[in-house]
Amino acid sequence: MGKPTGFIEYLRELPVDRVPLERVRDWREFHHHMDEKRLRNQAARCMDCGVPFCHTGKLISGMAAGCPIHNLIPEWNDLLYRGLWREALERLLKTNNFPEFTGRVCPAPCEGSCVLGISAPPVAIKTIEAALADQGWDQGWIAAEPPAERTGRKVVVIGSGPAGLACAAQLNRAGHTVTVLEREDRPGGLLMYGIPNMKLDKKDIVLRRIELMEREGVRFVCNAHVGENVEAQLLRKDFDAVVLCTGATQPRDLAAPNRKLKGVHFAMEYLTASTKALLDGGPDRSPIHAKGRNVVVIGGGDTGTDCVATAVRQGCASLRQLEILPRPPMERAEDNPWPEWPKVYKLDYGQEEAAAKFGADPRSYVTTVKRLNGDAEAGIRSVTTVQIVWQRGGDGRLVPAEVPDSEQEIAADLVLLALGFTGPEQPLLAELGVKTDARSNIEAEHGAFATSVKGVFAAGDCRRGQSLVVWAIDEGRGAARECDRYLMGCTDLP
């Protein structure tokens, strides 16, 4: 423990964000940096608990509690407090391949399980993690480290999202020759096209890491859609092992009349088009654009928030976000005790920006869509909503019921569906012959990551279902370890 009384002396501080009405005029990251003194004060708040729940990485009540990759958080907090930046970064890199990603986009389940959080605001772990990573890049401490020798084994990783990148980095570190196939025109998967630039910069953050991996020997092949222009069975012949990291990219659709009207799009379709336009010459070139349009985002979560923030930057005329769940309480409820993930109300960056522009949080809670209105020629015109209440069904589960006379019509000429994902796309899995589970995910036991086909492994959302970036990194590392064991008979990978 760097300072035994730090948690008493210092209050929780976070970096100041750029002013909402200023930052919505561009696509740059919206966080400012904290100075070293304030960062070290935050590190001093860490109590180095006898049982530090922050790095336990468990699922409690179906939600992440603690860090899934088991970051050595008390250790690097102590080192940072002492001013030992490089040593703190080395501790961080022992467990996390990409702290510059997680320090920006992870919802920080570590903070939700911080022991200090029982009675006070938790340690600003995510802020410290991002600062350590940025310092590492700025000082040149994060640099290419190609393996000293090669094993002669070849592995292909299908998918270049966080699971695929983590898996490739670890396998390359073990000395295997690694090729990563990505069906999009740029590598990065979810990190490249699923998360907007203002939350995770593509050129300065994502591509910087990929270029470093290339210098270490990892080969990236884009526009390689396995099952379409790349034959899956040939990969099994050409490589000693295959790792599937394709994500859970099958979107959940909206079961409502007139769903096929023009102007109704899946959230990921919208976000991908926006980022591609930004990188290819200008954000206004996106084929799905919100400028001057009445936008309705259906669904909450991070993806819904990203749609809100993107639509505001594109200059939408109005914006509503529909959330089927009740508004969370301001403080933990009795049935949501520490160290569970705290289900409390927060104004995320997108809603904060929408509120600054339109005057209020755009979310309507306990609200669902009854029908979409419009015509085949003009497309979507409005959305009819209805309020709901959650009631116990005969099996004891909560089910939604409509509130009588609560229908409302909302003007809409762009509707974005952010309803989550149902699992991985199936054609590739069928071509490889791998078994799937009842939820359509790849059947591969956690810890072994081996599919029903010898030499084929799976990691990330395609195996566990839609989840966090940090879980994907953990799974990618685990699959790399087991793939290395399969190839070599033993493994030294963590």
| Beta strands across the sheet bearing 456-458 | 219-221, 177-181, 154-158, 241-244, 456-458
CA-based nearest residue to 150, from 216, 212, 98, 213: 216
CA distance 130 to 125: 9
Name the pairing type of β-strands 421-423 and 250-251. antiparallel
Q: Six-digit token pair at 127?
A: 């802020």
Report the SS3 class of residue 400: strand
Q: Give the model's pLDDT for residue 47.
A: 87
pTM of the prediction? Answer: 0.95
CA distance 288 to 265: 9
CA distance 384 to 493: 54
**Continuous segment of H or E residues that includes residue 221:** strand 219-221
pLDDT in tens, the chain (494 residues): 678 899 999 999 999 999 999 999 999 999 889 999 999 999 999 987 888 999 888 888 888 899 999 999 999 999 999 999 999 999 999 999 999 999 999 999 999 999 999 999 999 999 999 999 999 999 999 999 999 999 999 999 999 999 999 999 999 999 999 999 999 999 999 999 999 999 999 999 999 999 999 999 999 999 999 989 999 999 999 999 999 999 999 999 999 999 999 999 999 999 999 999 999 988 899 999 999 999 999 999 999 999 999 999 999 999 999 999 999 999 999 999 999 999 999 999 999 999 999 999 999 999 999 999 999 999 999 999 999 999 998 888 899 999 999 999 999 999 999 999 999 999 999 999 999 999 999 999 999 999 999 999 999 999 999 999 999 999 999 999 999 999 999 999 99
Is the fold of 154-249+422-488 the same as that of 253-419? yes
Strands (E), 32-127: 58-60, 63-65
Q: What is the CATH number of domain 253-419?
A: 3.50.50.60
Name the pairing type of β-strands 318-322 and 414-417. unpaired
Q: Give the model's pLDDT for residue 3.
A: 87
Report the SS3 class of residue 210: helix
Domains of the chain, by residue range, sit at 6-139, 154-249+422-488, 253-419
Please name the residue that has the structure tokens 């309507």: 364
CA-based nearest residue to 239, from 53, 432, 20, 427: 432
CB atoms within 10 A of CB 82: 15
Q: How many contiguous H segments (helices) and E segments (strands) does the chain have? A: 17, 18
CA-based nearest residue to 424, from 229, 226, 265: 226
Residue 393 buriedness (CB in 10 A; 0-12 / 13-18 / 19+): exposed
CA distance 303 to 420: 8
What CATH superfamily classification does 6-139 receive? Answer: Alpha-helical ferredoxin (1.10.1060.10)
CA distance 455 to 487: 9
What phi and psi values does residue 63 have, to the nearest 5 degrees? -125, 150
CA distance 220 to 212: 12
Q: Which amino acid is at 63?
A: M
Q: Is the peptide bond before 342 cis (omega within 30 degrees of 0)?
A: no
Instruction: Specify the CATH class of 154-249+422-488 in words.
Output: alpha beta
CA-based nearest residue to 443, from 151, 252, 456, 203: 456
Name the pairing type of β-strands 379-392 and 367-375. antiparallel
CA distance 160 to 251: 19
What phi and psi values does residue 372 have, to the nearest 5 degrees? -105, 140
Q: Give the model's pLDDT for residue 1.
A: 66
Cα–Cα distance list, 446 to 329, 425, 453, 464, 482 (Å): 34, 20, 16, 8, 11
Q: Give the model's pLDDT for residue 51.
A: 87
Q: Give the model's pLDDT for residue 414.
A: 98
